[in-house]
Structure 1
Amino acid sequence: MPQKPKLGQNFLVNPQACHAIVDALGRDLSSATVVEIGPGKGAITELLAQRAARLVVVELDSLLATSLRARFGDSIQVIHQDILTVDLDTLRQSPADRLLIIGNLPYYITSDILLHLFAHHQAIRTAVIMVQREVADRIAAHPGSRDYGMLSVTAQLYAEVEKLMTLPPADFSPPPDVHSTVLRLTIAPRFQALGVSPAEFLAFVRQCFAQKRKTLRNNLRAAGYQPAAIENACQEAGLQLDARAEGIDMEGLASLHRSLIKPL
């Protein structure tokens, strides 16, 4: 019987998939600082160590961190720490150095890690991450689809999202109960173009999606906005009062937000 992983670990064992994931970062990593989240037993680490100018791996499991140090020596930097507590800005070698992030994200904290990456978006150029297929569908979802929601808007506010490949459970040891999808997030913040403050805008979007089956008008009234203000803002934004947030694109949500926060 295979040993059960700790910390929700499922190790990628398909060599072709490992190569494809590393290639998704870019063929030439000779001047790049790469940060690998959760390297595990080092299948992807081995490929990155041969290509990257500098490789930093962040591993929470103490036994795996020790094993990685013994295996790779000084050719990589091993940080035995929770990625959520790592200040990614400190891993840059200069203000111009923008990190490449790669990792098989633990399913149970995928959203937390994404938010951590977005909080450090100025330090990152690209992230190639593997997540549960259903979560990837939500991250990449477009308005009008059932998967479109808070996670979609948040991710797409900070990055261009591409689905690269989906891997079956058999590509992992031990096999998880779900398929996994590899995404490439090219950091390209949109809040300046949309004329919004990211923290305020995302708080507003959360109100819009508070209950997905409710109309935008009802969700905003529940959030404390006055009916007249909602009606005027929807009119300015070109939105129907009975629309639902899941059918409104980022530009529409931003326009509504700007209208509602205008001084009287």
Structure 2
Amino acid sequence: MTSPQTILKAWNLRARKELGQNFLREPTLAENIVNLAAIGCQDLVLEIGAGLGAMTIPAARRARRVIAVEKDRLLVPLLQAELLAQGLQHVQVMEANILALDLNRLAEQEGQAFVVIGNLPYNISSQVMVKLITERRSVRRAVLMFQKELADRLCAAPGNRTYGRLSVLLQYCAEMKVLREIKAEMFYPKPKVGSTVLQIDFKARIEPQVSDEALMIRVVQAAFGQRRKTLRNALAGGLLPLGGDGAAAVLEAAAIDPQRRAETLSVADFVRLTDAVGRYLVRPDRQA
């Protein structure tokens, strides 16, 4: 693999900061990450942010088929040329914004669920994770690179200052494992912080299971939206149609102290709270 600097210079291109582009510099590292993803010859791989093909090429040598999604239209012909030079014809390079793709529909068209890989741009990492959570029936496994601070947030336990909305939503439906840490020096351009490779396995069965996942997303967002406030005040803040009395009622129904704050609640607490909110919102005697 030629260095990112050399490839970009040859094509008269540059890394685009506005797209959060930081390319892997070391080919053996890209190969190692693909190895950690345990891609097999029958797998369908979806790569988010294929870039210069550092992981696309080794993934394609293992997988049945690869769909490489790249938003930067200037990189698409470069990536296609690299794949052609390697004789890899079972890779579809898709110029698209991953956030705009219907993953469930795409997986249905392909006839199987994806193994998702990628070096996620920091500016959309959180949005990508919410998308994978909500469309997870099309994802068998994900092995993704995150900037370290976000990876720490995803894995954080209740009571930790980094525990937040994404921690709850991901831990509700998935098991996570840290596969390796990557120093900032391994990227071009060099980012301010290092990265972490996480393996995310979505659960076949969730216990306890919430009655309305879309509502849970709203409840968690409301609770952490004003995380310095007590839960009663945060839930009454307007993101949910509760008001002060409603917030107090759902917290009592869920057996949660209204003076607690969002970061102290476990995933199971949020499941109970969401179910209590759902029951409250359909009460015929509830004041609008």
Task: State the TM-score, normalized to the length of structure 2.
Answer: 0.82
Aligned CA distance change for structure 1 residues 234 and 112 (closer, same or farther; 3 Å): closer
- Residue 11 of structure 1 corresponds to which residue in structure 2? 23
Deviations 1:29-51 (A, max 9, x none): 11100011112111111211110
Name the SS for the 2:172 alignment partner. helix
- Which whole-Å CA distance do the structure 2 matches of 1:230 and 1:188 have between them? 31
Aligned CA distance change for structure 1 residues 258 and 151 (closer, same or farther; 3 Å): same
Q: Matched residue pairs, number?
A: 262
Q: CA deviation at 1:192?
A: 7.5
Deviations 1:121-148 (A, max 9, x none): 1111111111111111111111110011
- Residue 272 of structure 2 corresponds to which residue in structure 1? 255
The alignment-based identity, stated in percent, is 35
- Residue 158 of structure 2 corresponds to which residue in structure 1? 143
- Residue 167 of structure 1 corresponds to which residue in structure 2? 182
Aligned CA distance change for structure 1 residues 30 and 206 (closer, same or farther; 3 Å): same
Deviations 1:206-226 (A, max 9, x none): 111221111112212334535
Q: CA deviation at 1:11?
A: 0.7
- In the TM superposition, what are the counterparts of 1:3-82 in structure 2 within 5 Å? 4-6=14-16, 7-26=19-38, 28-73=39-84, 74-82=89-97
Residue type matched to 1:156 in 2?
Q
Q: CA deviation at 1:183?
A: 1.3
- Which whole-Å CA distance do the structure 1 matches of 2:126 and 2:71 have between them? 17
Q: CA deviation at 1:169?
A: 1.1
- Residue 191 of structure 2 corresponds to which residue in structure 1? 176
- Residue 107 of structure 1 corresponds to which residue in structure 2? 122
- In the TM superposition, what are the counterparts of 1:97-136 in structure 2 within 5 Å? 97-136=112-151
Residue type matched to 2:102 in 1?
D
Aligned CA distance change for structure 1 residues 174 and 260 (closer, same or farther; 3 Å): closer
**Contact 2:184 2:194 (C-alpha < 8 Å) held by counterparts:** yes
Q: CA deviation at 1:252?
A: 0.8
**Contact 1:157 1:189 (C-alpha < 8 Å) held by counterparts:** no
- In the TM superposition, what are the counterparts of 1:194-233 in structure 2 within 5 Å? 194-223=209-238, 225=242, 227=244, 229-233=246-250
Is structure 2 residue 258 aligned with structure 1 residue 241? yes
Residue type matched to 1:97 in 2?
Q
Instruction: Report the aligned-residue RMSD.
Output: 2.3
- Which whole-Å CA distance do the structure 2 matches of 1:111 and 1:172 have between them? 21
Q: Which runs of 5+ in 2 are unaligned?
A: none
Residue type matched to 1:210 in 2?
G
- Which whole-Å CA distance do the structure 1 matches of 2:211 and 2:158 have between them? 19
Task: State the TM-score, normalized to the length of structure 1.
Answer: 0.89
- Which whole-Å CA distance do the structure 2 matches of 1:245 and 1:154 have between them? 13
Residue type matched to 1:75 in 2?
H
